[in-house]
Amino acid sequence: MGIAITPLKRPIHIGKRLAKNRFVIQPMECGDANLRGGFSEDSLRRYEKLLHGGAGMVVMESVTLQLESRARKTQLLLDVNDPDNRDQWERFVSQKRMRAPDTLLVVQLNHSGELSDESFSRRVCVKPLPGFGGTLIDADYIEQTIASYVEASHFLAQIGVDGVDLKFCHGYLGSQLLRPFNDRCWKYGGSFENRARFAYELCEKVRRAIPDEKFLIGAKVSVYDEMPGGQGHAGPNSLIIDPEESIRLCKGLEARGASFFIESLGNAGLGWQLMCPDHSCPGIVSQHMTAAKLLRQALRPETTVICGGLSLLGKGGALPGMAAEKSSLFALSNSAIEQGDFDMIALGRQSFADPALPAKYAAGKELDIHWCTCCNRCGTLLGRQAHAGCAVYDPYYRTVYHDLTTK
């Protein structure tokens, strides 16, 4: 008997590109670059595993375009004006093309804004948020930021990257501009049209700079983030969740050339549970699936919607009231894709636990998969400015975690 071809194993078109299956590797911040933002041995080793893990698409993490405003001391940097940095990126992409030609490679571009760490970086803000603050930015700053994104995207297209993911989630700059809390009277604040202007101008200008339709433009979006006046909320000080603006945002980006969206929830500055559900809050998985379905229902059939927040599901048994065989990552994802709730799934912490999960699933070797325990030790490493990875299954990160937490 052959291996069953389930929905997760089927190829799918993302824009003009073809992904070989429905697995996406999330853009996971790991803080494992060197101090100049270049590729370290740890980051190269990590991407070597991910690119050979069998996923249809790998999205590289939260890449900063400047050392000035960043959240991690060792955050991966793309500086098109630095010849050494450019060379590193060219070598990395060239090697990827040789070793994993059938895996799509997308780079997430980001600016940390108010989440920048003031101990080594410059914190800037759209409107001072209690507990964060920062230097207030103006329209000129935003326009310069857009120009840097466009320049970086053009460079990535030239060296063979398949696309970019524009980060509008988790409380970083793109998200800060979108939230109703940004009620300043300025070009990029107040009305929804003004708050969405950065996202729309950015998408338009990237598309205009790269006319090749095969180059993908997408976005990771917090459908809501559960903070007063946050993204996906009803007003500047409201805790009422109203995803209508997030849906409008995605439809506007779609009209300007975006071909995929990675669903997310939450705000990194306020806590991890909404972004990364654990065993204390299994019901949050249903919120992610519902948010992805809202996007799927609102967008064109040819636009790809990718659901995140599913690592908790594992081999099943994490959801109260559901049998393990019906509540596993594979069972629920296959069912949702078959029903048209979303098109692909994005693996975050699960990709740390077992970067080869897609390949093992394709080969019928599910019993060999290392399932994420959702212990969030990887988050502890990241929060402590250490190189992040799975401290359960990977001996290297297990040692890093032990040394960090026993001092």
Give pLDDT tens digits for 249-269.
Answer: 999 999 999 999 999 999 988
323 alpha carbon, distance to own chain's centre: 30
Q: Looking at per-residue confidence, does 74 or 4 come out higher?
A: 74
Quote the pLDDT of residue 118. Answer: 93
pLDDT tens for each residue of 144-170: 999 999 999 999 999 999 999 999 999
Q: Smallest Cα–Cα separation from 61: which of 342, 333, 224, 268?
A: 268
pLDDT tens-place string over residues 364-387: 999 999 999 999 999 999 999 999
| Whether residue 351 is found in the same domain as residue 399 | no
Do residues 65 and 214 share a domain?
A: yes
Q: What average pLDDT does range 20-46 have in this prediction?
A: 96
Strand partners, 262: 220, 306
203 belongs to a structural domain: yes
Q: Are residues 175 and 217 in the same domain?
A: yes
| CA angle 268–220–252, rounded 5-degree value | 125
Q: Are residues 361 and 390 in the same domain?
A: no
Q: Is residue 154 part of a domain?
A: yes
| Domain limits for position 114 | 7-371
One domain for residues 407 and 276: no
pLDDT of 136 > 60? The answer is: yes
Tokens describing residue 197? 């202007």
- Nearest to 299, CA basis, from 224, 233, 249: 249
Closest by Cα among 318, 291, 299 to 372: 318
Residues 395 and 310 in one domain: no
pLDDT tens-digit series, residues 88-102: 999 999 998 888 999
In a domain, 2, yes or no: no
The 3 state secondary structure assigned to the chain is: CCCCCCHHHCCEEECCEEECCCEEECCCCCCCCCCCCCCCHHHHHHHHHHHCCCCCEEEEEEEECCCCCCCCCCCCECCCCCHHHHHHHHHHHHHHHHHCCCCEEEEEEECCHHHCCCCCCCCEECCCCCCCCCEECCHHHHHHHHHHHHHHHHHHHHCCCCEEEEEECECCHHHHHHCCCCCCCCCCCCCHHHHCHHHHHHHHHHHHHCCCCCCEEEEEEECCCCCCCCCCECCCCCCCECCHHHHHHHHHHHHCCCCEEEEECCECCCCCCCCCCCCCCCCHHHHHHHHHHHHHHHCCCCCEEEECCCHHHCCCCCCCCCCHHHCCHHHHHHHHHHHCCCCEEEECHHHHHCCCHHHHHHCCCHHHCCCCCCCCHHHHHHHCCCCCCCCCCCHHHHHHHHHHHCC
Number of structural domains found in the chain: 2
| Residue 340: count of CB within 10 angstroms of its CB | 12
> Average pLDDT for residues 25-52, to the nearest whole number?
95
Is 29 inside any structural domain?
A: yes
Q: What span, in angstroms and rounded, lies between the C-alpha atoms of 73 and 92?
A: 21
Q: Say if residue 175 is in the same domain as residue 296.
A: yes
- The answer as to whether 43 is a domain residue is yes
Sorting pLDDT into bands at 50, 70 and 90, what band is 40? very high
Amino acid at 383: G
**pLDDT digit string (tens) for 320-374?**
889 989 999 999 999 999 999 999 999 999 999 999 999 999 999 999 999 999 9
Give the strand pairing for 135-136 and 124-125.
parallel
Q: Is residue 1 part of a domain?
A: no
DSSP annotation of 229 = T
Shared-domain flag, residues 164 and 62: yes
In-domain check, residue 284: yes
Q: Kindly state whether residues 262 and 387 are assigned to the same domain.
A: no
pTM for this prediction:
0.97
Q: Cα–chain-centroid distance for residue 380? A: 18
41-51 and 83-99 helices, crossing angle to 10°: 30
Residues 357 and 407 in one domain: no
pLDDT attached to residue 253: 98
**pLDDT band at residue 407 using 50, 70 and 90 as cut-offs:** confident
What integer pLDDT is reported at residue 2 of this predicted model? Answer: 67
CATH number, domain of 55, equals 3.20.20.70
C-alpha span between 109 and 122 (Å, rounded): 18
Answer whether residue 358 is part of any domain.
yes
pLDDT digits (tens, 9 = 90+) for 96-131: 888 899 999 999 999 999 999 999 999 999 999 998
Is 204 found in the same domain as 112?
yes
- Measured CA to CA, the distance from residue 134 to residue 203 in angstroms comes to 26
Are 391 and 283 within one domain?
A: no
